[in-house]
Amino acid sequence: MEMMLAPRQTQGLAMTAKMQAALRILQMNNLDLTAYLATEAQENPCLDVKLPDDAPPLPTGVAGGARESDFDAVAALAADKPSLYVHVADQIDIAFKSPTLQRTALAFAEVLEPTGWMITPLETVAATARVPVSVAEAVLARLQGFEPAGLFARNLAECLKLQAQEKDLLTWELSVILDNLSMVAEGRIAELADLCDGTPQDVRNALVAIRGFDPKPGIAFSASETPIMPPDLRVFRRGDDWVVELNRSNLPEIRITEAPDTGNDAAARAYINRARSKARWLSRAVEKRQSTLLAAAGCLVRRQVAYLEQGTRHLRPLTTEDLAEELSLHPSTISRTVAHRMIETPRGTVPLRAFFSRAFTPGTGDAGPSQDALIALVGDIVAGEDASRPLSDSAIAKLAKEKGTPLARRTVAKYRDILGIPASYERRRTAA
């Protein structure tokens, strides 16, 4: 066989240090941004940062605090965990180069539950991404190889199998046990041992290993409680229009300054030139952050006017991918933009994430009701029930149907759990 060398051109994206810094700035809230810029200003003679008058105390070592030599504001920020969607989207960027496969992978990411499971049927995701089911199956197989193991599982058994496989523990016997976990719950250990050609003790040993797995790997990425701090944005009514603006009362101001004359010192002049270049880049990065945040919030408000005027029952289906398409941005950029952002509205201060909601029927776009609207409907029905005669899930489903929204009993039970509402017999006992 003859070996040949030939040049070939390919296109690819490289994440430069400046791109990484810009993404971190985009994801910072106003307090983080203030701390970061204050630290940069201490080290850059061409950068002047005016701190907000009512800014809360900055972290130790920033802008005149009790400075510690090893404080790193950016490293401290980077230690914050990304959301599950951002974590998955970053892996999708690396794993899928084809636009079709990447679009399909993001469609799977959009229906990922907070637990890390995927309960939406594969055929529905394939229809949403406009690809054959065989392509969707191939993409899902690759997604199930993402870290942490167990993501994109369709049920508990598959979630645990993926983790066992990742640890090289998935034997035929363990697979049989995982496929029949209901027998464990019923105490039928001896029957299960016969199924996997083992002894009851073998089954018990396998269950010890299974208990070391994580049945809900996505929960580790759940956002922590939003800290009490001024909102990043405000939205208010002006005449017949809704107006969105940045909350500049807690935003730092940047000014590029002239450094001292360095004379004929070439090294000092080169240092000043680098400092001035970095200061200008920081100014542009912050301006880009503000414009992206305003554009995303403005788009959310335009799409969810009914939510602002009438409440959660009127939320329309809206995903990060929808917003990304309208703004010509990547969905992961949108996710970073809205993460941990608060907006002051006439209905109170809420996270920007509150404006997003999945469609009740995946693939229908904004034509049908959103999941959050139906969750709110279940809550309203329970709130209006006779406390002495609590409604069963079937009765709630019947009332929802009368209001024009058919809901299955198991869907009502799921939404009730999300709202933290106990079952009817527990509500009756509490009322008594």
> What tens-digit pLDDT sequence spans the chain (432 residues)?
455 666 666 555 555 677 778 888 888 878 888 888 888 888 888 888 888 765 555 544 443 333 343 434 444 444 455 678 788 888 888 888 888 888 899 888 888 888 888 878 888 888 878 888 888 999 999 999 998 899 999 888 899 999 998 888 888 888 888 888 888 777 788 888 888 888 888 888 888 888 888 888 888 776 544 445 678 889 998 888 899 998 888 788 888 887 777 677 788 888 888 888 988 999 999 999 999 999 999 999 998 888 888 877 778 888 888 888 888 988 888 888 887 788 888 878 888 888 887 776 654 455 567 777 788 888 888 888 887 788 888 888 888 888 777 788 888 887 787 777 888 777 776 655
Give the model's pLDDT for residue 308.
87
Calpha distance 87→222 (Å, rounded): 11
Distance (Å, whole) CA 338 – CA 272? 35
Residue 66 has a pLDDT of: 37
Residue 4's pLDDT is: 60
Helix (H, G, I), strand (E, B) or coil at 256: strand
Q: What pLDDT was estimated at residue 143? A: 93
Burial of residue 197, with CB atoms counted within 10 A of its CB: 0-12 exposed, 13-18 middle, 19 or more buried: exposed
Where does 371-431 sit in CATH, by number? Answer: 1.10.10.60
Give CA–CA dist 85/207, Å, rounded.
31
**What are phi and psi for residue 234, nearest 5 degrees?**
-135, 145
Share of the chain above pLDDT 70, in %: 84
Query: How far apart are the C-alpha atoms of 371 and 412, rounded to whole Å?
Result: 11
Amino acid in position 419: L
Question: What ranges do the domains of the chain cover?
Answer: 23-62+70-79+225-255+269-357, 84-222, 371-431
pTM recorded for the entire structure: 0.55
Element (H, E) at 345: strand 342-345
Q: How far apart (Å, rounded) are the C-alpha atoms in residues 330 and 394?
A: 42
Q: Which stretches of 384-408 are DSSP H helices?
A: 393-402
Which residues make beta-bridge pairs with 349?
Answer: 344
Count the Cβ atoms, other than its own, within 10 Å of residue 424: 19
CA atoms within 13 A on the CB side of 148: 17
The answer to whether 321 and 331 are in contact (CB under 8 A) is yes
What pairing do the DSSP bridges indicate for beta strands 233-238 and 342-345?
parallel
Q: How many CB atoms lie within 10 A of CB 369?
A: 21
